[in-house]
Amino acid sequence: MTDERPPTPEDRWRGGGCPADLLARRSFLRGTVAAGLVGAAGGSLLGGDEALADSASGDGARTSAIPFHGAHQAGIATPPQPIGAFASFDVTASGRAELTDLFRTLTRRARSLTAGGTLPKAPPRAAPPDTGILGPDAAPDDLTITVAVGATLFGRYGLAARKPAQLVTMSPFAHDDLDPALSHGDILVQLCAEHRDTTVHALLDILAHTNGAMRQRWRIHCQRNPPRPDGIPRDWFGFKDGISNPDTTNTAQLNQLVWTQPRTTEPVWATGGTYQVVRIVHFDLEKWQEVPVAQQERIFGRRKVSGAPMYAVSDNTSDDLDPIYTNDPQGLITPLHSHVRLANPQTPQTASTSSILRRSYDYDRSPDVHGGLDLGHAFCCFQRELDTYITMQNRLEDEMLVPYISPRGGGYFFALPGVRDDKDYYARGLLT
Residue 215 has, within 13 A of its CA and on its CB side, a CA count of 6
User: Residue 279 CB, nearest distance to ligand HEM (Å)?
Assistant: 6
User: Residue 298 CB, nearest distance to ligand HEM (Å)?
Assistant: 13
Backbone angles phi, psi at 32, to 5 degrees: -80, 150
Beta strand spans in 96-176 (E)? 117-118, 137-138, 144-149
Residue 57 CA to residue 191 CA, distance in Å, equals 21
CB closer to ligand HEM out of 241 and 374? 241
> Alpha helix (H) ranges present in 66-175?
96-115, 151-154
Residue 414 CA to residue 167 CA, distance in Å, equals 7
User: Residue 404 CB, nearest distance to ligand HEM (Å)?
Assistant: 9
**DSSP letters of 261-315?**
PSSSSS-GGGTT-EEEEEEEEEE-HHHHTTS-HHHHHHHHTB-TTT--BTT--ST
CB closer to ligand HEM out of 291 and 396? 396
CB closer to ligand HEM out of 115 and 402? 402
User: Residue 379 CB, nearest distance to ligand HEM (Å)?
Assistant: 4
User: Residue 144 CB, nearest distance to ligand HEM (Å)?
Assistant: 21
CB closer to ligand HEM out of 323 and 409? 323
Using CB under 6 A, list all residues that contact ligand HEM: 235, 237, 239-244, 279, 281, 300, 302, 323, 339-340, 343-344, 356, 377, 379, 389, 392-393, 396, 405
Nearest to 81 by CA among 243, 254, 199, 201: 199
Residue 224 CA to residue 203 CA, distance in Å, equals 19
User: Residue 407 CB, nearest distance to ligand HEM (Å)?
Assistant: 7
CB closer to ligand HEM out of 384 and 428? 384
CB closer to ligand HEM out of 206 and 343? 343
User: Residue 305 CB, nearest distance to ligand HEM (Å)?
Assistant: 13
CB closer to ligand HEM out of 163 and 377? 377
Angle 96-115/196-210 helices, nearest 10 degrees?
150
At 171, the amino acid letter reads S
